[in-house]
């Protein structure tokens, strides 16, 4: 019996683009919640300059991540074979995520 060889032409992506699109949406929602909580924590006990700065930075990072996520969601929703995520977009998404986590740590300390 000969093993099945996948040449790439007979690839059936199935629902993988749909699952990936939904994962981007869930991650965007999680970032939204984290940003709202960061703003709430920054303003808890009265606004101060460092808290407002971290809250504004969190909002900017969220907007940057949102831009990358929605561009990716659009590509995945178009149907057909989606293009691969560019290293620049992947790096931006990762950087925004890590920086948002750093903002959360700064607000806690």
Tens of pLDDT along 78-96? 877 888 899 999 999 999 9
pLDDT at 42: 86
**Cβ-Cβ contacts under 8 Å for 55 (sequence gap 6 or more):** 38, 39, 42, 43
Predicted confidence band of residue 8 (pLDDT cuts 50, 70, 90): low
Predicted confidence band of residue 57 (pLDDT cuts 50, 70, 90): very high
pLDDT at 96: 94
Average pLDDT over the chain, rounded to whole? Answer: 85
Distances from the Cα of 5 to the Cα of 9, 11, 15, 36, 81, angstroms: 11, 11, 21, 49, 20
Predicted confidence band of residue 71 (pLDDT cuts 50, 70, 90): very high
Q: Determine the length of the chain.
A: 109
């Amino acid at each position: 019996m000969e093993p099945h060889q996948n040449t790439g032409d007979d690839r059936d992506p199935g629902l993988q683009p749909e699952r990936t699109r939904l994962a981007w949406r869930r991650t965007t929602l999680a970032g939204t919640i984290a940003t709202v909580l960061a703003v709430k924590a920054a303003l808890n006990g009265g606004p101060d300059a460092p808290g407002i700065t971290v809250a504004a930075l969190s909002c900017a990072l969220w907007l940057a991540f949102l831009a990358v996520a929605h561009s990716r969601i659009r590509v995945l929703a178009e149907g057909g074979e989606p293009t691969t995520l560019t290293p620049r977009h992947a790096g931006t998404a990762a950087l925004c995520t890590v920086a948002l986590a750093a903002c959360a740590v700064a607000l806690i300390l």
